Amino acid sequence: MISKGIKDPSILDRIRVKGIAKAWRNFKYFFRRKKHQFKQLRKYVPMIWKGYDFDYRYATEIFSAKLEDIAQGMEFDNAM
């Protein structure tokens, strides 16, 4: 398959391979992200379940857990 402006088929093959590679990365990222989201759900649901609207203690527990997650994520070299 050769487009109108591109005469070299190897360029199209490289573009096609890059597109497949990008789609595969997106596919893998989707499942890694879902795995992380389920871990977070298992971590935060018990804290939320035990909390009451008038009790500020559960809010501080959630906030401190979130700060621990952020600090743990910032320890990696590729954080920013």
Tokens of 39: 């871990």
What confidence tier does 15 reach under pLDDT thresholds 50, 70, 90?
Answer: low
Mean pLDDT of 66-76: 87
Domain boundaries, the chain: 32-75
φ/ψ bin of 44: left (φ > 0), alpha (ψ from -120 to 50), beta (otherwise): alpha
Q: Which segments of the chain are extended strands (E)?
A: none
Q: In the prediction, which pLDDT does 47 show? A: 86
Do residues 62 and 44 make contact, with C-beta atoms less than 8 angstroms apart? yes
Q: In the prediction, which pLDDT does 9 show? A: 61
DSSP 56: S
What confidence tier does 27 reach under pLDDT thresholds 50, 70, 90?
Answer: confident
